[in-house]
A and B are shown apart, each in its own frame.
Chain A
Amino acid sequence: MTVLGLGPHGETAAPPERVSLLPQDIAQARERNFRVGIVVHTLQSDWATRLVRGMIGTLGECGALVIDVADCGFSAETQAHALDRLRRQEPDAIISLPVANADVAEAHRRVSEDGIHLTLIDNAPTGLTPGRHYGSLVSADNYGLGQMAAQLLSPHVGERARIGLIGYDTEFFPTDQREIAFSAWLDRHRPDVTVDIRRFSAFADVRRLTGELIDRAPELAGLFVIWDGPCHSALAELRHRNLRVPVTTIDLGKQVTEQLARDQNVVGIAAQRPFQQGEVVARATLTHLLGRSCPSWIVLPGIAVDRDSVVQAYQTIWREVVPRSILEGLSILKP
């Protein structure tokens, strides 16, 4: 699997295998009883819960104590408060998924100025640089995921068709990368296709925006939604209007996976590997805390999922048995 995206400062990606902990590293980490705080954008998504589980498990194996897991509810203000609160606890490290760029930069800068090690997930706030403000940024290959989503949608879209893209209105590195990559792939491989773009700032807007796309182009031939949560709302609008439109999205959330399995609009999903990403985040943090060299931009390639590969992908990504409803949707089990 090849990583297509460069880092937020143009860095070349290091593979996750580059960050390993040997038995002596683990023993050394256990002796030091590191204290770690975690701040994530949300705890309400399948992706986020798996990411956090991956982190906590690996940190636990290495004797590190997780002193808090803060849910920012996608709010920059909440994240700044959470980081300030955690700073006062003087942990050895804070692991953060910055929910914005400029709006959370100062709060993250204060963490590194306090001498607390900072590991970032998916996004680097404006002006923060590796080595100076944070150790590593561990990310999914969001550029690759955006291209994958376009590639999965393309065979379902006729010539000179008009498709929709529902993006995220906030300056956010991962979603910006996905959107730019999706358009770039179409520009190069399907220049005949026209893309109408709408962006939401709150989930509640997604149904209305989907409706706007359809009202503007009733012949809408395809739709890409920037991740699975808002995609679920877009799918609800398509169901409400009784429309069949091929849809792709990013993240193998349970609801969109079920729609893929049941052949209901969703034709493909570009999937991240949140559990594995969480493990790599924890390993990178511990590597830094042990004073060892660690790459600044570590990237996990995505997985292209369609109906044929969804069961294996689900098991790989979620590390659990595929729900009965999905197996029934694929006619692997009888209802």
Chain B
Amino acid sequence: MATQDQETIASRAARARVPDAATISMVDLLNLLRTGQATTRQELERAGPFSRSIVADRLALLTELGLVDESASGVANGGRAPRLTRFVAQRARLLVASISQGALGVGLVDLSGQLQTEHHEVIEPGLEPVDLADRVLGVIRRFHSRHSSGPELWGISIAVPGPVTLDDAPFAQRTPDVLPGWQEADLVGRLIDAFGVPVWVRSSIDAMTMGEWRAGLGQGAGGMLFVNVGGRVNAGLVIGGQLYRGASGAVGLIGQTGIAGGTGGGTLDSGAGAAAIRDAGLRAIEEGRSPALADLVARVSKLSVNDICQAAQMGDAGSVEIVSRAARLVGGTLATLTSMLDPQLIVLSGTIAQSNDIFLAVVREAVYGGSHPLVTRDLQIHRSQLSGSAALIGAGWIGTEELFRPAVARDWLPAGTPLAHPSFAAIRGARQDGAGRDPAQTTQGVKTA
């Protein structure tokens, strides 16, 4: 089965001998359709330097590759109804995954980045990187097995809990060292071996920001600050209608900024992150300031951040104070960023921000009160409505945008599949020649890919 698949891809790549200029125009036309900038042949002709014959020729090729469909008609506007030219988003799909502290999300998106289905699981805290990679692979494999019927798989896009440095390579070759031991755990390599498709890796905050901007409250926003308050406090940034990744890909580590507090300062992470909130909850129980939390711990012997946020929502005074303090710290930092960046929209995400109304109210008060009046005049501050889906949706958008980035698409489109991209073929070849391959997984991977 594996050999047959590889032969088919190789022979299609060899057959596709389209001149460079033709490939470039084919990619450009496909991207006009994919992004909705054109929906008919006439619009394609008007959108770029494409003659009628070039459009007809490239569309014929794209139709043959299953990426364009012209079977439907549009609405007549006085004459004959125009034939619609549509990107076939269902031609293939991407697996998306989001690894965060304590949870793993996995989903499938079509080629337009639309999330088709998703699944989330708790993962035990403190797993060794190799065990975590095992868990991630197991969950992805079970999820993919449950959804194995359907279009073929063209790639895997993963969001990981740490910054991923900028890289021009079309596909990930190795696991970024976002946490100690990750590179050795070889998650990326094992995914390539298991599923036989390209992999992209980005930070969770990049993926969440992209998800919120493309499919959430940030749709159409030119400037958006996305803030995730979880184990750490991180931010993502959209500026000028583009996701901004900074000079090295590590934008938004605001949890490391210093805070001035009554208890001697520290960082935003240490004052408003999940561990700080949990510790404050335990202290409130010890000091008799939170009957609701004391009662809860007496019943279930443990205390989560979610418990504290829910107790705050239900009016427990000790919990309200804990959540309010965290919100004041986050709001203070955001006020400075708002004065600097002048965003249209701030979106708050994460359990602490989303499980109660108090956090949002206090952040609003701190930002509106602590920023320059000019930048807050039209500023909106909301809670994310995408919850844990934001990272999966964002990973889907990142994967599809990378896949159809002109510099990348030109090297695979004539063959009709990114599996024939020379860089990916080289990555696979290197893995098959080298060590670290898991033959048991490869058999299943080829079957599913």
Contact = CB atoms under 8 A, between A and B. Distances in A.
Given A18-B314, A126-B116, A10 B143 contact: no
Nearest to B215: A127
A9 B310 contact: no
Contacts of A47: none
Contacts of B310: 14, 18, 295
A12 B313 contact: no
Interface in A1-48: 4, 6-12, 14, 18
Contact of A129 (B105, B306, B386): B386
Interface in B105-135: 105, 114-122
Contacts of A131: 383, 385
A7 B120 contact: yes
A10 B117 contact: no
B88 interface: no
A171 B357 CA distance: 33
A213 to B, nearest CB: 17
A12 B355 contact: yes
Binding site secondary structure of chain B: mixed
B116 A184 contact: no
B104 to A, nearest CB: 9
Contacts of B120: 6-10
B243 interface: no
Contacts of A171: 117, 147
B357 A187 contact: no
A304 B252 CA distance: 46
Contacts of A67: none
Contacts of B114: 127
Nearest to A1: B300
A184 B139 contact: yes
Interface residues of A, number: 32
A9 B122 CA distance: 12
A128 to B, nearest CB: 10
A58 interface: no
Contacts, number: 84
B127 to A, nearest CB: 12
A57 interface: no
A6 B121 contact: yes
Given A7-B387, A129-B386, A143-B121, A183 B142 contact: yes
Interface string A102-133: 10000000000000000000000011011110
A132 to B, nearest CB: 5
User: Of residues A7, A12, A131, A180, which shows the largest number of chain B Cβ atoms within 10 Å of its Cβ?
Assistant: A12
B359 to A, nearest CB: 12
A175 to B, nearest CB: 10
A176 B143 CA distance: 9
A184 B143 CA distance: 10
A258 B62 CA distance: 59
Given A187-B138, A295-B310, A9 B386 contact: yes
B103 interface: yes
Contact of B119 (A130, A167, A177, A197): A177
A101 interface: yes
Contact of B385 (A7, A129, A179): A129
B138 A184 contact: yes
B231 interface: no
A293 interface: yes
Contacts of A102: 116
Contacts of A187: 138, 142
B444 interface: no
A126 B115 contact: yes
Interface residues of B, number: 35
Given A11-B387, A12-B306, A6 B122 contact: yes
Nearest to B143: A180
A10 B103 contact: yes
Contacts of B356: 293
A130 B387 contact: yes
A6 B103 contact: yes
A137 to B, nearest CB: 11
Contact of A180 (B142, B216, B383, B388): B142
A43 B168 CA distance: 56
Contacts of B80: none
Contact of A4 (B122, B357, B387, B388): B122
Nearest to A10: B388
A201 to B, nearest CB: 11
Interface in B270-292: none
Contacts of A7: 120, 387-388
A122 to B, nearest CB: 15
Contacts of B105: 10
Contacts of A12: 304, 306, 351, 355
A284 B145 CA distance: 35
B389 interface: yes
A129 B304 CA distance: 24
Contacts of A130: 385, 387
Given A176-B146, A183-B142, A184-B142, A9 B119 contact: no
B357 A10 contact: no
B389 A10 contact: yes
A197 B355 CA distance: 38
Contacts of B351: 12
Contacts of A4: 122
Contacts of B314: 18
Interface string B384-408: 0111110000000000000000000
Contacts of B119: 176-177, 180
A171 B385 CA distance: 23
A236 to B, nearest CB: 26
Contacts of A179: 146
B386 A126 contact: no
A167 B145 CA distance: 12
A328 B146 CA distance: 40
A192 B237 CA distance: 48
Interface in A119-170: 126-127, 129-132, 143, 167
B121 A9 contact: no
A119 to B, nearest CB: 16
A54 B385 CA distance: 29
Contacts of B386: 9, 129
Interface of B: 98, 103, 105, 114-122, 138-139, 142-143, 145-147, 216, 304, 306, 310, 313-314, 351, 355-357, 383, 385-389
15 contacts: A6-B121, A6-B122, A7-B387, A10-B387, A10-B388, A12-B304, A12-B355, A126-B115, A129-B386, A143-B121, A171-B117, A176-B117, A176-B119, A184-B121, A184-B142
Given A167-B146, A171-B117, 12 more contacts: A6-B120, A6-B121, A8-B118, A9-B386, A9-B388, A10-B389, A12-B304, A129-B387, A132-B385, A180-B146, A295-B310, A295-B355
* A-B CB proximity, top 9 nearest: A10-B388, A9-B387, A10-B120, A6-B120, A9-B389, A131-B385, A12-B306, A129-B385, A132-B385
